[in-house]
Amino acid sequence: GKHRIVIPCLGHFKEEYEKVSKLYLNNKIRTTRYTLLNFLPQNLFQQFHRVANLYFLFLVVLNWVPLVEAFQKEITMLPLLGVLTIIAVKDGLEDYSRYKMDKQINNLVTKVYSR
């Protein structure tokens, strides 16, 4: 499992502290799920884990087969695209609010105990 290493920055522990502290760049909190680069692929991956979205995707793919085509191809894509867009906007706004909260928490002034 995960564990935490605490090394005091005092006297003979100073060399060990400097060696271990190079492994950890900072102690910032990050609760966001997405970045700007991975938002679209990761969000689509998350959305297609829902059975309803897979069902609508199946209908869209099935409608592209000429023998089974019931409606125009573009019309069957509209419900799926609408749902995916609305959920992506909702997820993006929620993630942005988490980003702002993380930024606020990371900029708090803290007290450090020192002898």
Q: What is residue 38's three-state secondary structure?
A: coil
Q: What is the pLDDT of residue 11?
A: 66
Q: Within 10 Å of residue 34's Cβ, how many Cβ atoms?
A: 19
- Judged against a pLDDT cut of 80, whether residue 48 lies above it is answered with yes
Cα separation, 104 vs 106, whole angstroms: 6
End-to-end Cα spacing for the chain: 32
More confident residue, 5 or 42: 42
pTM, 2 dp: 0.69
- Judged against a pLDDT cut of 60, whether residue 8 lies above it is answered with no
What does the domain layout of the chain look like in residue ranges?
31-107
Q: What is the pLDDT of residue 51?
A: 92
For residue 33 the two structure tokens come to 């799920």
